[in-house]
């Protein structure tokens, strides 16, 4: 781990922080967190699943967060029994690895357009370019080399990592995190199609809609959200987007949606609240995905998906049907195999 821990905690203090039950010595101290196989004296580690028992032997962790069913496996190491070791870890991380402090200020190499305003405190990094009439809220941090076009607004406590681009008019909410290389508000892929026998050109449709990102959103590295054509593109509050995701023009995404890496949502889709979209999923244009639906890895959605449905495959179908169909196909294969023999 690269981050330097700032202080240490006793096993009893870890138990109090996590609401767990301590088994073993209460005065053992930890100053850092490490994975089982690399944990040494002074480290806190965690055991969430029997899958990781093989690593336990190599572990020299001083204190272990673990679930009840695995508590006896750890011998006489100080253990703290919790329902969910990953959630418990959050409380300890906040104490041992507090978020790095940041220094407010505007770097002298930043270029600031006329009419641009911010609320103290802000941090504007080196070589940042802000257009005209940009509005930054309180505690906004804009990383090195970011470029924000005219009229962009960024809400309080939002952080932009280096090299983010916001096209003119983009609006970003509060407590949102934009990772490096995120592009917000680029023109959607909209053309009046040409081609045909006369080889007419595709004519570009100008885009006048906005890209609107809610509060408490996180968008991963190099992901792209286009602006709307006439309507806006909207990402709802609390939605989390992984790396290299594409969200096209006029898409409306609800609250607390999870979108994994390399997924693509085509134009004018509506994605309900609490939807889960797996890695490399594709959703075709104009599809509605109901609240709570789950689109499994690499699914290809070409029609509407009902609320709460779990779908897989291309074209996406109910998960259970896909499992039965592939089982049937491969069972017939086994039969054919016997026939051949």
Active site residues: 249
**Would you count residue 280 as binding its own copies (CB under 8 A)?**
yes
State the Cα–Cα distance between residues 9 and 236, nearest whole angstrom.
38
| Residue closer to its own copies, measured from CB, 26 or 327 | 327
State the Cα–Cα distance between residues 250 and 332, nearest whole angstrom.
45
**Would you count residue 25 as binding its own copies (CB under 8 A)?**
no
State the Cα–Cα distance between residues 29 and 10, nearest whole angstrom.
4
Residue 271 and residue 256 in contact, taking contact as beta carbons nearer than 8 Å: no
Q: Could you tell me the end-to-end alpha-carbon distance of the chain, in angstroms, rounded to an integer? A: 56
- The dihedrals phi and psi of 223, each to the nearest 5 degrees, come to -80, 155
**Would you count residue 272 as binding its own copies (CB under 8 A)?**
no
- Distances, alpha carbon 324 to alpha carbons 293, 320, 321, 333, in Å: 20, 6, 5, 14
Residue 277 and residue 310 in contact, taking contact as beta carbons nearer than 8 Å: no
The correct pick among 261, 270, 304, 310 for binding its own copies (CB under 8 A) is: 261
State the Cα–Cα distance between residues 252 and 223, nearest whole angstrom.
16
Query: Where in 304-323 is the site for its own copies (CB under 8 A)?
Result: 313-315, 317, 321
**Would you count residue 21 as binding its own copies (CB under 8 A)?**
no
Taking CB under 8 A as the binding criterion, the range among 7-15, 61-69, 73-81, 217-225 that sits at the site for its own copies is 217-225
Taking CB under 8 A as the binding criterion, the range among 14-22, 60-68, 134-142, 156-164 that sits at the site for its own copies is 156-164
State the Cα–Cα distance between residues 223 and 73, nearest whole angstrom.
42
Tokens (6 digits) for 248: 């096209």
Residue 160 and residue 154 in contact, taking contact as beta carbons nearer than 8 Å: yes
The correct pick among 161, 172, 269, 295 for binding its own copies (CB under 8 A) is: 161
Query: Where in 96-155 is the site for its own copies (CB under 8 A)?
Result: 97, 99-100, 107, 109, 111, 125-127, 129, 143-145, 147, 151
We find the least distance from the C-beta atom of residue 183 to its own copies, in angstroms, to be 4
The correct pick among 255, 269, 277, 293 for binding its own copies (CB under 8 A) is: 255
Instruction: Map residues 56-95 to x or -, x wherever contact with its own copies holds by CB under 8 A.
Output: ----------------------------x-xx-xx--xx-
The correct pick among 16, 67, 95, 262 for binding its own copies (CB under 8 A) is: 262
**Would you count residue 159 as binding its own copies (CB under 8 A)?**
no
- Distances, alpha carbon 83 to alpha carbons 62, 148, 230, in Å: 20, 44, 49
| Residue closer to its own copies, measured from CB, 120 or 199 | 199
Query: Where in 184-213 is the site for its own copies (CB under 8 A)?
Result: 186-187, 189, 191-195, 199, 201-206, 208-210
């Amino acid at each position: 781990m690269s981050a330097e821990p700032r202080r240490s905690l006793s096993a009893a203090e870890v138990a109090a922080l996590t609401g767990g039950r301590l088994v073993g010595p209460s005065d053992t101290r930890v100053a850092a967190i490490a994975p089982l196989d690399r944990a040494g004296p002074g480290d806190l580690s965690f055991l969430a699943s029997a899958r990781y028992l093989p690593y336990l032997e190599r572990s020299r962790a001083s204190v272990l967060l673990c679930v009840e069913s695995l508590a006896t496996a750890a011998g006489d190491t100080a253990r703290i029994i919790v329902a969910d070791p990953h959630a418990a870890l959050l409380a300890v991380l906040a104490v041992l690895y507090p978020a790095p402090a940041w220094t407010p200020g505007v770097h002298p190499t930043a270029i600031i357009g006329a009419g641009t305003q911010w609320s103290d405190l802000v941090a504007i990094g080196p070589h940042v370019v802000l257009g005209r009439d940009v509005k930054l809220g309180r505690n906004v941090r804009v990383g090195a080399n970011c470029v924000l076009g005219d009229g962009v607004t960024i809400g309080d406590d939002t952080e932009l990592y280096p090299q983010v681009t916001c096209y003119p008019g983009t609006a970003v909410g509060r407590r949102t995190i934009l990772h490096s290389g995120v592009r917000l508000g680029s023109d959607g892929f909209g053309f009046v199609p040409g081609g045909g026998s006369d080889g007419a050109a595709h004519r570009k449709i100008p885009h006048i809609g906005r890209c609107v990102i809610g509060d408490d959103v996180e968008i991963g590295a190099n992901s792209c959200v286009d602006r709307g054509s006439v309507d806006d593109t909207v990402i709802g509050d609390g939605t989390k987007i992984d790396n290299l995701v594409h969200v096209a023009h006029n898409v409306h995404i609800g609250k607390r949606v999870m979108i994994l890496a390399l997924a693509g949502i085509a134009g004018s889709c509506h994605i309900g609240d609490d939807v889960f979209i797996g890695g490399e999923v594709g959703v075709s244009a104009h599809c509605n995905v109901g609240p709570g639906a789950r689109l499994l890895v690499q699914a290809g959605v070409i029609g509407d998906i009902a609320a709460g449905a779990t779908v897989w495959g291309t074209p996406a179908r109910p998960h259970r049907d896909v499992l039965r169909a592939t089982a049937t196909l491969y069972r017939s294969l086994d039969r054919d195999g016997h026939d051949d023999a």
